[in-house]
């Protein structure tokens, strides 16, 4: 039997002492499979307080529950759709044939549609309390509860880099120290993918291209400083993202 895939949750301390957690889980059906089939490993640099870990675990429970609802809705959609369609036909025939009072055709269609929609969501609620969903819920919560956080040199270096950007403004990309050893390259790429989710917007991609051009002209610090004054973006975290991306893609 093959070993389950390991996915990582990363805790980063900001310079002001606030906590940030980065992970691959979202409120979608793919996360249900990922949570159920993976071994979750937590990483930190400076050890976070128990209250931060407890708050994050509760947040992850909520994400998992929303993901489970999405998974349930998608997994048996066809069966519920056919069931609701059958209810629509039965309701329409009942109103057309059995009910003696003359009901306009449009009203019959609207009433039948309303009944079929209600039937569909009743089936969704019924499935959420089924044994199939409950087993998957237990699997996911157990995976979350088994998560153990441990100290990581890689995350230590990421926190130091983030604090440098927060404290000193805008260190140039070519002045960044090596952020990880070769043995941590896989985890570094995983963390990079988490950070990238926050910078998908076209605005960030455009700014990244400008900064790359500025670094070639040895003008990186001025370009980043100007952007920091003009934009409300999380510039220190974006700097960390660029630095990590530069090292991962070497």
Phi, psi of 47 (to 5 degrees): -65, 125
Q: Which residue has the higher pLDDT, 102 or 85?
A: 85
Query: What percentage of the chain has pLDDT greater than the value 70?
Result: 80
pTM for the predicted model, two decimal places:
0.74
Three-state secondary structure string covering 110-155: HHHHHHHHHHHHHHHHHHHCCHHHHHHHHHHHHHHHCCEEEECHHH
Query: What percentage of the chain has pLDDT greater than the value 90?
Result: 19
Cβ–Cβ < 8 Å for 23, 9? yes
Cα 80 from Cα 86, distance rounded (Å) = 10
pLDDT surpassing 70 at residue 175: no
Mean pLDDT of 172-199: 75
Cβ–Cβ < 8 Å for 180, 154? yes
Torsion over CA of 109, 114, 118 and 120, rounded to 10 degrees? 40
pLDDT digits (tens, 9 = 90+) for 111-132: 888 888 888 888 777 777 778 8
pLDDT surpassing 70 at residue 201: yes
Mean pLDDT of 12-22: 91
- For the purposes of burial, counting CB atoms within 10 Å of the CB of 57, is it exposed (0-12), middle (13-18) or buried (19 or more)? middle
Query: Locate tokens 């906590």: which residue?
Result: 19
Phi, psi of 46 (to 5 degrees): -85, 135
- For the purposes of burial, counting CB atoms within 10 Å of the CB of 61, is it exposed (0-12), middle (13-18) or buried (19 or more)? middle
pLDDT surpassing 60 at residue 81: yes
Torsion over CA of 149, 154, 156 and 160, rounded to 10 degrees? -150
Grouping H, G, I as helix, E, B as strand and the rest as coil, residue 219 is coil
pLDDT digits (tens, 9 = 90+) for 89-116: 888 777 777 766 665 667 778 888 888 8
Q: Which residue has the higher pLDDT, 100 or 242?
A: 242
Q: How confident is the model at residue 84 (pLDDT cuts 50, 70, 90)?
A: confident
């Amino acid at each position: 039997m093959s070993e389950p895939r390991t996915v990582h949750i990363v805790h980063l301390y900001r310079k002001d002492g606030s906590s940030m957690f980065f992970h691959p889980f979202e409120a979608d059906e793919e996360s249900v499979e990922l949570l159920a089939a993976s071994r979750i490993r937590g990483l930190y640099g400076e050890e976070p307080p128990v209250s931060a870990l407890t708050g994050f675990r509760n947040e992850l429970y909520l994400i998992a529950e929303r993901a489970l609802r999405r998974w349930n809705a998608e997994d048996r959609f066809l069966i519920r759709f056919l069931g609701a369609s059958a209810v629509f036909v039965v309701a329409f025939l009942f109103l057309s044939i059995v009910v003696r009072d003359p009901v306009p055709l449009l009203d019959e269609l609207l009433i039948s549609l309303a009944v079929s929609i209600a039937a569909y969501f009743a089936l969704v609620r019924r499935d959420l309390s089924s044994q199939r969903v409950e087993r998957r819920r237990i699997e996911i919560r157990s995976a979350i509860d088994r998560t153990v956080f441990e100290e990581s040199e890689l995350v230590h270096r990421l926190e130091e880099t983030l604090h440098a950007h927060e404290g000193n403004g805008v260190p140039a990309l070519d002045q960044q120290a090596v952020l990880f050893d070769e043995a941590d390259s896989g985890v570094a790429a995983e963390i990079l993918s988490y950070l990238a989710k926050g910078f998908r917007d076209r605005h960030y991609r455009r700014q990244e291209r400008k900064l790359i051009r500025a670094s070639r002209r040895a003008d990186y610090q001025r370009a980043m400083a100007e952007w920091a004054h003009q934009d409300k973006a999380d510039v220190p975290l974006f700097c960390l993202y660029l630095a990590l991306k530069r090292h991962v893609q070497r």
